């Protein structure tokens, strides 16, 4: 409550006037004839009766009249609790949570039922719009007063496998309220999951023109067991070297004993017992099954009788294949580089290639297309036939990795890439002279996870002019160390040193094995995508070399995800639902993407009541020094002014006071 003219309240001092009239005015008596008082003793007259209030009802009416009169002049008002639109009604947003956790019990049906019931409570001038939110926010209607359209929009909402974020919802609400003059009133129907809260409470800050009212549909925090995650290889080349690890968790649960099962293509292949500590985690490891060749659908399940069985399994995909051959061309007299490179390749967790050695003369008679990629180690000038075959191999989409040594300086350009060779740098190890790496392009797949090259010493390098090639690594003197050149549909990686532990000490450093593994996967077009995806993830459908052609994507239920026009042009697709997506690319390659809901949705702990109230109050306007709310910028606060009611009450009091006063005056005249 407030007063538009608070200074008129000073007039309340006039309340003293009735007090003076009824108590402090001089008492007058009517003189009466009496005999002589000469025989009476003179004393001071004292009369308590004359100092008491007279005519109490009349005194109360006069006092209350003055109080009401001053209140009426002060213009009292109260603030309305709802936000009113320019058309005279409220602008209401009905936000329904459709995230994965809403699948528990009857949460989702309760949220839709309560939202529908609220539509029936809207007044004629109110306008509302409906949105649902999970990984993304979807506006289902514009602001409308058509109750039928609002009910249909709520009925169309389906539960999703995405994860909710109250911070993202808050940003969306701020965007909706910004163009509206008088703001919005938001009714949130959600399970109020604590895991959906942002790390910083400031991300939930509402603007003063947003009033949030929460409608929780979760009565309490529910204990839950879940398969939290699975670590599985994307490719299986040797089942004896592969392990599949699963993590099971209890969220707010007591200690329990359960059984974890591994399934492949819907067939159980292994089971293990596990003890889950109270509100803790446990790991289970399986040997990789003897999977059939090709793409396989994997799943890990637990036997857990809890109230949320939807997260008691976890999907993954894996592909069984034989290692592909790769060709290593070198001088027959130099076997050191081949030994280091092959050892690094075979030391990886999943060796995807078998390395075959050949001399340049032997390589000239080989069919290069059967190799995943080709390595040229310090190549001498190759024969014309071999170089012609090599160019055709790269132009057709193949990849070549060239290491430059002393023999490479006998020619003016790098083979196939045709980059000019300008100078040769040689440092003396005995004198402690060496060069080091000062720049790495960590975004390149070849060194994305092997970027610790600071301590590696380079004693001999070949200076190559990169031209328009991509420089991946540089030495301290600016010499390009690793470059990539596109030739036709293929690529050429040029390493300005060797792999023999003579020109540098890279082959004996910890970075060499991951560098060789990642580079070979990159050159051999091995798909290093993860074995699992989180619902709502974005999957790239085309590489830089596969921009033409149609991409076919089938969803978890076998449905076609892309239209014909989208299949010809789409660069990616959102993996919205739990299950397996079958992707067939223009090159003929096929991928099976396993999708699981975000496991933060499995934590069914609810937001504390006091935290929820703080969030609701972040949109309350700040207070002015006088205690009244600060009006919203760009709009006027809606107030209910009731001073005229006070004035009417004062008028009735004035009439009553006049009638009662005349009555008392008539009595005094009769007494006189």
Q: CA torsion 443→449→455→460, rounded to 10°?
A: -70
**Range in 186-190, 520-524, 655-659 with the lowest mean pLDDT:** 655-659
Separation CA 577–CA 598 (nearest Å): 11
pLDDT in tens, 572-601: 999 999 999 999 987 778 899 999 999 999
Burial 330-349 (b: 16+ CB within 10 A, else e): bbeebeebbebbbebbeebe
pLDDT in tens, 324-337: 999 999 988 888 89
> What is the pLDDT averaged over residues 43-48?
54
Q: Using alpha carbons, select from 489, 500, 485, 243 the residue that is nearest to residue 350.
A: 243
CB 58 within 8 A of CB 19: no
Q: Please state the CATH superfamily assignment of the domain spanning residues 91-220+607-617 in this structure.
A: von Willebrand factor, type A domain (3.40.50.410)
What is the model's pLDDT at position 105? 93
Q: Kindly tell me the burial class for residue 39, based on how many C-beta atoms sit within 10 Å of its own C-beta (0-12, 13-18, 19 or more).
A: exposed
Separation CA 663–CA 672 (nearest Å): 15
pLDDT in tens, 388-405: 899 999 998 899 999 998
**With 50 as the cut, is the pLDDT of residue 622 above it?**
no
* Look-up of token digits 């070297």: 241
The Cα-based distances of 415 to 3, 375, 378, 402, 602 in angstroms read: 88, 12, 11, 8, 56
Partners of 95 in the β-ladder: 131, 188
**Range in 155-164, 374-383, 432-441 with the lowest mean pLDDT:** 374-383
pLDDT in tens, 265-285: 999 999 999 999 999 999 999
325-523 to CATH, choices 3.20.20.60, 3.40.50.880, 2.60.120.10, 3.20.20.70: 3.40.50.880
* Look-up of token digits 């003890």: 275
Answer yes or no: same fold for 91-220+607-617 and 224-321: no
pLDDT in tens, 630-668: 444 434 445 556 666 777 887 887 788 777 777 766 655
Q: Kindly list the strands in the beta sheet with 256-264, ordered across the sheet, starting from the edge strand earlier in the chain.
A: 235-236, 313-320, 294-302, 256-264, 267-276
Angle between helices 512-523 and 336-346 (to 10 degrees): 80
Q: Using alpha carbons, select from 353, 347, 351 the residue that is nearest to residue 328.
A: 353
The Cα-based distances of 633 to 180, 181, 279, 380, 641 in angstroms read: 11, 9, 48, 76, 21
Q: Which of the two residues, 169 and 66, has the higher pLDDT score?
A: 169
* Look-up of token digits 């939930």: 204
Residue extents of the structural domains in the chain? 2-79+642-671, 91-220+607-617, 224-321, 325-523, 533-596
CB 193 within 8 A of CB 223: no
224-321 to CATH, choices 2.60.40.10, 3.40.630.10, 3.40.50.1820, 3.40.190.10: 2.60.40.10
**With 60 as the cut, is the pLDDT of residue 628 above it?**
no
Residue 330 corresponds to which tokens in the numbers above?
Answer: 């070198």
Sequence-ordered strand ranges (E) for 80-135: 91-97, 127-133
Task: State whether residue 234 is helix, strand or coil.
Answer: coil
CB 650 within 8 A of CB 68: yes
Q: State percent of the chain over pLDDT 70.
A: 83
Which residues are within 8 A (CB) of 108 and not within 5 positions of it... i.e. 6 or more apart?
A: 98, 102, 159
Separation CA 144–CA 466 (nearest Å): 62
Sequence-ordered strand ranges (E) for 396-436: 399-403, 421-426
Residues in the chain: 672
Neighbouring CB atoms inside 10 A of 149's CB total 17
Sequence-ordered strand ranges (E) for 457-504: 460-464, 470-475, 480-487, 490-495
CB 498 within 8 A of CB 334: no
pLDDT in tens, 65-102: 777 777 777 777 665 555 554 455 789 999 999 999 99
> What is the pLDDT averaged over residues 485-490?
91
CA 662 to chain CA centroid, Å, is 78
Model confidence at 57, in pLDDT bands (50, 70, 90)?
confident
* DSSP-assigned letter for residue 544: T
């Amino acid at each position: 409550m407030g007063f538009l003219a608070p200074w008129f309240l000073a007039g309340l001092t006039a309340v003293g006037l009735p007090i003076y009239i009824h108590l402090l005015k001089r008492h007058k008596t009517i003189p009466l004839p009496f005999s002589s008082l000469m025989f009476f003793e003179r004393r001071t007259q004292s009369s308590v009766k004359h100092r008491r209030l007279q005519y109490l009802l009349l005194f109360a009416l006069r006092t209350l009249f003055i109080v009401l009169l001053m209140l009426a002049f002060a213009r009292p008002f109260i603030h309305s609790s709802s936000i009113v639109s320019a058309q005279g009604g409220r602008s209401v947003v009905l936000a329904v949570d459709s995230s994965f956790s809403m699948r528990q019990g009857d949460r989702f049906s309760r949220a839709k039922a309560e939202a529908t019931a609220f539509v029936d409570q809207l007044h004629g001038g109110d306008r509302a719009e409906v949105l649902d939110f999970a990984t993304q926010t979807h506006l289902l209607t514009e602001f409308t007063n058509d109750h039928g359209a609002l009910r249909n929009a709520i009925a169309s909402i389906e539960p999703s496998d995405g994860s909710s974020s109250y911070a993202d919802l808050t940003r969306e609400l701020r965007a909706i309220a910004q163009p509206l003059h008088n703001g919005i009133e938001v009714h949130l129907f959600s399970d109020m999951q604590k895991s959906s809260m942002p790390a910083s409470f400031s991300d939930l800050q509402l603007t003063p023109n947003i009033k949030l009212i929460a409608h929780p549909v979760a009565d309490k925090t529910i204990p839950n067991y879940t398969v939290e995650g699975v670590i599985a290889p994307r490719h299986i080349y040797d089942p004896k070297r592969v392990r599949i690890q699963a993590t099971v968790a209890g969220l707010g649960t007591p200690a329990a004993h359960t059984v974890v099962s591994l399934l492949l293509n819907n067939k159980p292949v292994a089971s293990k017992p596990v003890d889950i500590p109270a509100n803790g985690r446990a790991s289970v490891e399986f040997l990789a099954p003897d999977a059939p060749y090709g793409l396989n659908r994997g799943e890990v399940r637990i036997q857990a009788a809890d109230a949320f069985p939807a997260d008691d399994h976890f999907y993954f995909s894996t592909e069984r294949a034989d290692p592909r051959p790769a060709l290593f061309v070198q001088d027959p007299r130099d076997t050191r580089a081949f030994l280091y490179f092959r050892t690094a390749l075979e030391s990886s967790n999943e060796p995807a290639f078998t390395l075959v050695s050949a001399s340049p003369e032997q390589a000239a008679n080989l069919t290069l297309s059967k190799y995943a990629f080709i390595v040229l180690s310090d190549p001498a000038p190759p024969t014309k036939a071999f170089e012609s075959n090599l160019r055709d191999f790269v132009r057709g989409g193949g990849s070549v990795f060239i290491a430059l040594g002393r023999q490479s300086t006998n020619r003016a350009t790098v083979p196939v890439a045709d980059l000019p060779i300008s100078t040769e740098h040689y440092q003396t190890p005995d004198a402690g002279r060496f060069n080091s790496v000062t720049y790495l392009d960590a975004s390149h797949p070849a060194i994305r996870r092997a970027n610790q090259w600071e301590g590696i010493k380079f004693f001999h390098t070949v200076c190559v002019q990169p031209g328009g090639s991509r420089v991946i690594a540089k030495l301290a003197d600016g010499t390009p160390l690793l470059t990539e050149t596109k030739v036709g549909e293929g690529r050429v990686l040029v390493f300005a040193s060797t792999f023999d532990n003579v020109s540098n000490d890279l082959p004996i450093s910890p970075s060499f094995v991951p560098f060789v593994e990642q580079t070979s996967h990159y050159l051999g077009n091995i798909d290093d995508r993860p074995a699992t995806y989180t619902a709502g993830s974005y999957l790239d459908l085309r590489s830089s070399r596969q921009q033409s052609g149609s991409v076919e994507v089938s969803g978890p239920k076998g449905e076609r995800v892309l239209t014909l026009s989208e299949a010809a042009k789409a660069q990616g697709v959102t993996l919205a639902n739990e299950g397996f997506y079958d992707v067939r690319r223009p090159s003929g390659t096929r991928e099976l993407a396993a999708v699981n809901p975000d496991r933060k949705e499995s934590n069914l702990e609810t937001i504390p009541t006091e935290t929820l109230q703080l969030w609701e109050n972040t949109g309350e306007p700040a207070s002015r020094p006088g205690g009244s709310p600060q009006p919203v910028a760009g709009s006027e606060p809606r107030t209910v002014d009731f001073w005229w009611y006070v004035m009417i009450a004062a008028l009735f009091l004035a009439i009553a006071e006049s009638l009662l006063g005349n009555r008392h005056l008539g009595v005094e005249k009769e007494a006189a």
